[in-house]
Structure 1
Amino acid sequence: MSLSANTRVALIFCAFISLLLWLFLPYPWMWFVRYVDSVPPVSYDGRIQFNLDNLKKPKNETEIVNIVKDAYQSRRKIRVLADGHSWSQIAQTQDIMISLVDYAGIVEYDRKALTVTVRAGTPLHQISTDLDKMGLAMMNLGSVAGQSVAGAISTGTHGTGLTVGNLAENVLSLRIVTGNDGQVLTLSANDNNTDLFKAAQVSIGMFGVISEVTLKVQKKFKLKEIRTHHKLNYCLDHMDSLVKGDHKYVKMWVEFNNNFCVLYQTSETDEEITRIPTLEGFLIYYSFAIQTRITYLLPFLTPLMMHFVNIIGFGCDTVRVDKSYNIFNDFFHLPVHQEGEVVVPYSHAAEAVRAIESEVLIHQHPVNYMTEVRFVKGDDIWLSPEYGTVPGTCAITLTMYAPESTALQYFNAVYDVMKGFNARFHWGKHFKHGAREIEQLYPKYWEFKTLRAKMDPKNIFVNKFLDEKFEI
């Protein structure tokens, strides 16, 4: 049976479009529903599907209280779903899912005291742009701008800079609708519940629904980012001088197979804003996107394809100046991937990176992404990965686009190697640690559990995942 010319053209066109979708949108329908629906039915990577049959979207604190009271009386579970930008199962439940997408915005701000109070569902990018109009800015941010402020602080999300703490450290007070029959508490470091505040700053949603957050901010500022590329050995040999040098915010993108390191050094500046690097962002994104799809199917090509990414995406050194939040947040979105993270004391930073490099090269893990190396100041927040560290930590983000089994094999192998460094992890990313390991890594583990039981006596904010991690 012969096909007409028009049919052949149509088939070729469909095949071409399918190829483009495969290259650039690994989960086309999931990508569509995530960006069309106000509440994402799937996680960022399309791997976790959320049950939205019992979705609640409160518009004010009173509605949040009523939802929690109903759950308390009926002994139903509650989890809060924000942007879905997590790889762990912390937001999953088959009972009540709360989205604070309709409970967002700035409540008040104080230019003199340099504080801002925001509703918990406010995305970080909205806080940044709103503060900018007021002449203010967040003190630091991570790479992703779509996370809600409550989700970001509750998981210990961070940016980079050894003199800069994670986002939770900027919290001055929290207003929480607790699992104790919807009781509303305002917690701060200045009241008599200091322990409760330190436990609640990073609570993984286990104390209740955060309603409002008051944050330290500063006058708005510009940043100058200098990006250079080097041999990885150079960056590791000179890590101390690079990280503790003249630049406040320092991070590295590391590629093990080709001994390659992209060094980002950033400081405040009064220089004029430079143009947005549209072409650069395009090249970085699509060089990553294409090679990850190819190496997903043909992992043995990973070293060669990553070499092309190094040349195409990062072959030129660059300097750019922009508003602080535009520099803190990546100006391009990395293609879909899997993530884990190990957090080691800063004193072991270079040694830990070298240990991961050896694991990758010896066992030929197909790491088809840059490995991000960042630095965070130590703090006294009970479940913060930076708790009790001086001067801080080195957070190494493990990234891969591969079948889940392949990614987890790599992440788990690294977690095993990192046990010798007393490495912690990121609560919102892949991690395999059980209750006994978590207890050893977090000195305030039992104190946290005791306070959690008082805040949520019927365990309505505990899901299966958290039950396993905290043996509730």
Structure 2
Amino acid sequence: MFSLKTLQTKKHWSNWAETAQGQFEEFFTPRSVEELQAIVGKAFKDGKRIRIIGASHSFSPIALPEEICISLHEMRGMDSVDKERGEATFWGGTYLYEIGPLLKEHGLALENMGDIQEQTIAGAVSTGTHGTGITLGSISSQVIEWEWIDGMGEYHIHRRVDQDDSLANCLHVSLGLFGILVRVTLKLLPLYSLKVKTFRATIEEGMSSWKEDLHQFRHLEWFWFPGTKLIQVKQMDAIPPVPQKKWEKTISTISKNVVDNQAFYLLSEICKRNPRRTQWVSEFSAKNIPNRIETGYSYELFATPRKVKFYESEIAIPIERFLECMEELLAGLKDNPFFVHFPIECRFVKDEPGFLNPNFQQDSAFLAFHMYKGMPYEAYFEWIWGVMEKYNGRPHWGKMNNLSKEKIQKLYPKWNNFQEKRQEYDPKGIFLNKYFRELIH
């Protein structure tokens, strides 16, 4: 996690992967809505730009502050809960890893989560953070009410009316461009647990059973190691609530931290120093995929620790083109020409009405491409972007991408609707940093 003290003293910000960084003028950690409104109101008068940095976990420059940098670290926790209605309201600065235990005390749980839990709820909602499961949407789809401060310092509350609610579909994935997301109300499920099965399979086996698995399991995820024909398959189903057994949790923690992170870090360092070893590392990793079965509360098993730093680009394509796309990737990466040993992560998400969701109005396969931090990624990502454009791929906003004004217009049919509504709430564009100014103007 970033250091609040460093931000305050050095006025320098960097995201987790250090793919975006820069200086800013002022730093604030407000503790109340009124304090936050005062900061925004003054910025509006002075013509200063603001960005909220969340947990700084995005790989793209969407959170990069230029003049005023704000963290909601002091505005965290559960604000209210209604167990009968299955709803809870959280302050925007609440970290995802804090939400599960808070909800458990009330017999509730999030419908779905991603595999990283360090983000703030405001950041996760604003960027469309997602998990996997073809009957499930992103975290944004679980929001039924937004509370935010606009670019003039005014406070707003909007509750989703229906799937055709235009304002809700703008707020669904707002990228922080409508203002500062102060509180969100989430629709929840009764507390449940997951049974997670992880095993190795050939890519041919995975592709032949993919359609059946997609609908048989609540969650399905693949990790395919480039240059090999092996995948790690992760299947998850909901079961009645039961905590993870102590011995099972200990074994899992050791495995994920020592093997999945420390050992993989050492292998990654070998690749960094000698890129021609990447194929061997990819094959070694694929052949040593563990066979595991775990059970525990959903929030205990959705996320996995990611301590080995990397660069990432993730792209959503129409799900009906997934196998076709995989065939092209298999052919292009057969001899591992880009020296990549990180697996390609494949997840599947239900369509959503959010105007800027990568899975807007289409069930989607999300493919995430990674390169170890410090290794050259440019050629690999450029090739990937070229391939995925053939399948009308929509890049995840929080990951590295090659979006342009022209590409956005083509990929997002409601882009102009979003911009018209955004200008109502931020007429001076105080929430537009350089990244967004280049995409909008």
Counterpart of 1:103 in structure 2 is: 75
Query: Within 2, Cα distance between the matches of 1:108 and 1:348?
Result: 42
2:373 matches 1:373: no
> SS where residue 232 of structure 2 aligns?
strand
Match of 1:187 among 151, 158, 173: 158
- List aligned pairs for 1:78-117, cutoff 5 A: 78-117=50-89
| Post-superposition offset of 1:349 | 1.1
Consecutive unaligned residues of structure 1, counting only runs of 5 or more, are 1-30
**RMSD of aligned residue pairs (Cα, Å):** 2.0
Overall identity of the aligned pairs, in %: 25
User: Which of 220, 225, 228 in structure 1 is aligned with 2:199?
Assistant: 228
**Residues 275-299 of structure 1, C-alpha deviations (whole Å, 9 max, x = no match):** 1113321212123111111111211
| Cα offset, 1:200, TM superposition | 1.2
| Counterpart-to-counterpart distance in 2, 1:168 and 1:265 | 23
Match of 2:263 in 1: 287
Match of 1:13 in 2: none
1:307-318 correspondence runs (5 A) = 307-312=283-288, 314=289, 316-318=290-292
Partner of 1:252: 222
Distance 1:74 1:170 in 2: 36
State the match for 1:466 in structure 2. 436
Deviates more, 1:374-383 or 1:48-57: 48-57
**Is the 1:237–1:350 contact (alpha carbons within 8 Å) kept by the matching residues of 2?**
no
- Contact map agreement 2:244 2:300 (CA 8 A) in 1: no
Deviations 1:411-467 (A, max 9, x none): 121111111111101000000110110110011011111111111100100011011
User: Which range moved further: 317-326 or 37-46?
Assistant: 37-46
Query: What is the CA–CA distance in structure 2 between the aligned matches of 1:46 and 1:203, rounded to whole Å?
Result: 23
Q: Is the 8 A contact 1:187 1:193 kept in 2?
A: no
State yes or no: 1:321 paired with 2:291: no
SS of the residue 1:90 aligns to: helix
**SS where residue 401 of structure 2 aligns?**
coil
- Any idea what the Cα deviations from partners look like across 1:335-383, whole Å, max 9, x if unmatched? 0000001100110112212222323236611112111100000011100
Q: 5+ residue gaps in structure 2?
A: none
CA drift of 1:34 comes to 4.7
C-alpha contact 1:222 1:268 (8 A) present in aligned 2: yes
Answer yes or no: is the 8 Å Cα contact 2:346–2:365 preserved in 1.
yes
- Any residues of structure 2 matched to 1:194-213 within 5 Å, and which? 194-213=165-184
Amino acid at match of 1:454: E
- What CA distance in whole angstroms lies between the structure 2 residues aligned with 1:226 and 1:37? 41
Query: In structure 2, what is the equivalent of residue 157 of structure 1?
Result: 129
Aligned residue for 2:316?
343
Residue by residue over 1:50-72, the C-alpha shift from the partner in whole angstroms, topping out at 9 and shown as x without a partner, is 53541111101111111111111
1:264 alignment partner in structure 2 = 234
The superposition leaves residues 189-233 of structure 1 with CA deviations (integer Å, 9 ceiling, x where unpaired) of: 229992112101101111100111000111111100011110112
> How does the TM-score come out when normalised to structure 1?
0.88
Verify the 8 A CA contact 2:219 2:235 in the aligned structure 1.
Answer: yes
Kindly tell me the number of residue pairs found equivalent between the two proteins: 432
Q: Secondary structure at the match of 2:99?
A: helix
CA distance 1:272–1:42, shift in 2 (3 Å):
closer
Assess, with a 3 A threshold, how the Cα gap between structure 1 residues 319 and 38 changes in structure 2: closer, same or farther: farther
CA contact (8 A) 2:133 2:218 kept: yes
Distance 2:298 2:7 in 1: 27
Equivalents in 2 of 1:64, 1:306: separation in Å?
48
How far apart are the structure 1 equivalents of 2:275 and 2:389? 27
DSSP-derived class of the 2:14 partner: coil
1:278 aligns with 2:243: no
Is the Cα contact below 8 Å between 2:88 and 2:185 reproduced in 1? yes
Secondary structure, in 3 states, of the residue corresponding to 2:48?
coil
- Amino acid in the other structure paired with 2:361: G
Alpha-carbon distance between aligned partners in 1 of 2:37 and 2:4, rounded to the nearest angstrom: 29
Alignment correspondent of 2:281: 305
AA of the residue aligned to 1:396: L
Structure 2 CA distance for partners of 1:301 and 1:362, relative to 1, 3 Å: closer
Go from structure 1 to structure 2 and tell me whether the alpha carbon gap of 1:460 and 1:272 turns closer, same or farther (over 3 Å shift). Answer: closer
Deviations 1:71-100 (A, max 9, x none): 110111000011110110001122001100
* Distance in 1 separating the partners of 2:228 and 2:391: 25
2-structure distance, mates of 1:335, 1:225: 23
Counterpart CA distance in 1 for 2:126 and 2:172 is 6
| Change over 3 Å in CA distance of 1:198–1:290 after alignment to 2 | same
Q: What secondary structure sits across from 2:360 in the alignment?
A: coil
Larger Rg: 1
CA–CA separation in structure 1 for the residues paired with 2:46 and 2:319:
47
Q: Which amino acid aligns with 2:224?
A: V
Structure 2 Cα separation of the partners of residues 465 and 86 of structure 1:
13
Task: Measure the CA separation in 2 of the matches of 1:272 and 1:198.
Answer: 36
Instruction: Determine which of 438, 445, 455 is the counterpart of 2:425.
Output: 455
| Distance across 1 between alignment mates of 2:163 and 2:128 | 24
- Which residue among 207, 214, 226 is the counterpart of 1:243? 214
Alpha-carbon distance in 2 for matches of 1:85, 1:57: 18
Contact in 1 for aligned 2:226/2:336 (Cα 8 Å):
no
Question: 1:59 maps to what in 2?
Answer: 31
